Amino acid sequence: MNSSDDKPGGPVMQLLASGLQLWVRQQCQAIGSLDIRLQGTALQLLRGRLAGVQLLARRVIYKDLHFELVELNSGPIQVHSGNLLKGQPLQLEQAFEIQGQVSFTADGLTRSLRAPQWRALGDGLGETLLGIVPLVELQICRDNLVFAARAIGAPCLIELATTVLAAEGSIEIRSVNGNVSSRLPMDPGITISDARLGEGMVQLIGTAQVNP
């Protein structure tokens, strides 16, 4: 006879879901809302393995990056279930892969590139694309990502409409007229497979390795 713990909604799985929610929140500076769904059974969990996790989060700040929407699916995860059952914090045994989509609003991108950690990147984009620093803001107009910078002492903003696309696992920003472009530096554990503008946001699709 199967116990309730062999079902995705059993108490052990619910305990793990709560532990994962806490772990995810601890990795982030802020999360507006978070929904986690587990794939697998408690029997698999007791053997130290979870089939996968689906995550949906809104208004996330992670490493000073302001995401509007994060939708992720993980591959199999090794977990230390013994400690969890003893009431101790969740421990993940080893690195695992996630895939999915993250989305930025124009305001979220502006806030991200104003953060000390990313300001040099923002100003580098302003210099490469516009020939001007500092970068002031980004806007999304129809199908274009618009960069705006202001030269020191100048009263008006200089703007450039760009498109966003994936290139060799990274993100390339290219002016609409094709005259200038810039490819963003990418963490070696992250691969971008698609980049586009949709629903008034910059949407990035790809995979990443998570190291506990």
Give the type of residue at 10: G
Q: Between residues 89 and 27, which one has the greater pLDDT? A: 27
**Comparison of pLDDT for 116 and 12, the residue scoring more:** 116
DSSP-assigned letters across all residues of 29-79:
SEEEEEEEEEES-HHHHHTTEE-EEEEEEEEEEETTEEEEEEEEEE--EEB
So what's the pLDDT on residue 5?
Answer: 42
Q: Looking at residues 120-135, what average pLDDT do you find?
A: 92
Does the reported pTM lie above 0.85? yes
Confidence category of residue 10, pLDDT binned at 50, 70, 90: confident
The answer to whether residues 169 and 184 touch, using CB atoms and an 8 Å cutoff, is no
User: Across all residues in the chain, what is the average pLDDT?
Assistant: 89
Categorize the per-residue pLDDT at 92 as very low, low, confident or very high, splitting at 50, 70 and 90.
confident
Q: Is the peptide bond before 134 cis (omega within 30 degrees of 0)?
A: yes
The pLDDT, as a whole number, for residue 1 is 35
pLDDT at 8 over 60: no
Name the least confident of 8-17, 159-168, 189-198. Answer: 8-17
Which stretch of DSSP H or E encloses residue 27? helix 11-27
CA angle 154, 109, 205 (to 5 degrees): 140
d(CA 81, CA 17): 12
pLDDT at 142 over 90: no
Contact 79/64 with Cβ under 8 angstroms? no
